[in-house]
Amino acid sequence: MAIERTLSIIKPDATRRNLTGRINAMLEEAGLRIVAQRRVRLTRAQAEGFYAVHKARPFFDSLCAFMTSGPVVVQVLEGDDAVAKNRKVMGATDSSKADAGTIRKTFAESIEANSAHGSDSAENAKGEIAYFFAGTDIVG
């Protein structure tokens, strides 16, 4: 398995409930290393740009409003098979379908306010990481 990097976001529903440390512990326990991390309040334009692929979806406006409703923690995770590993630790988008012990099963409030984001492919991870971080921000 190759060492990969992926973008993770701890979403506003989780920062609001002070869950950053517990989510980071779940990521680290799964073997992912947090090699960059920043707490930020996204602008509407940043949220719309990040989720541009979902622009045509009925939930797009609500999703962008949610993602700008409070601080998020953007982070780069590194490890063996990091993209798939992070998706596994996060669990399914709809937490009612997520496996026990996953971040979303444990913490999500709804299908929208589902506590965490993770890139869905190594290629998308590269673009998503570059959206938030300069190469010099990432210390592996």
- Minimum CB distance to Mg ion, residue 120 (Å): 5
What are the distances in angstroms from CA 135 to CA 10, 28, 30, 126? 21, 22, 24, 11
Name which of 78 and 120 has its Cβ closer to Mg ion.
120
CB nearer to Mg ion: give 43 or 93: 93
> Of ligand IDP, Mg ion, none, which one does residue 121 interact with (CB within 5 to 8 Å by kind)?
none
Q: Residue 114's binding partner, choosing from Mg ion, ligand IDP, none, with beta-carbon cut-off 5 to 8 A by kind?
A: ligand IDP
Burial class of 42 by CB neighbour count within 10 A (0 to 12, 13 to 18, 19+): buried
Q: Which residues are catalytic?
A: 117
* Shortest Å distance, C-beta 89 to ligand IDP: 12
| Site for ligand IDP, rule CB under 6 A | 54, 59, 63, 93, 111-112, 114, 117, 120
Binding site for Mg ion (CB under 5 A): 120
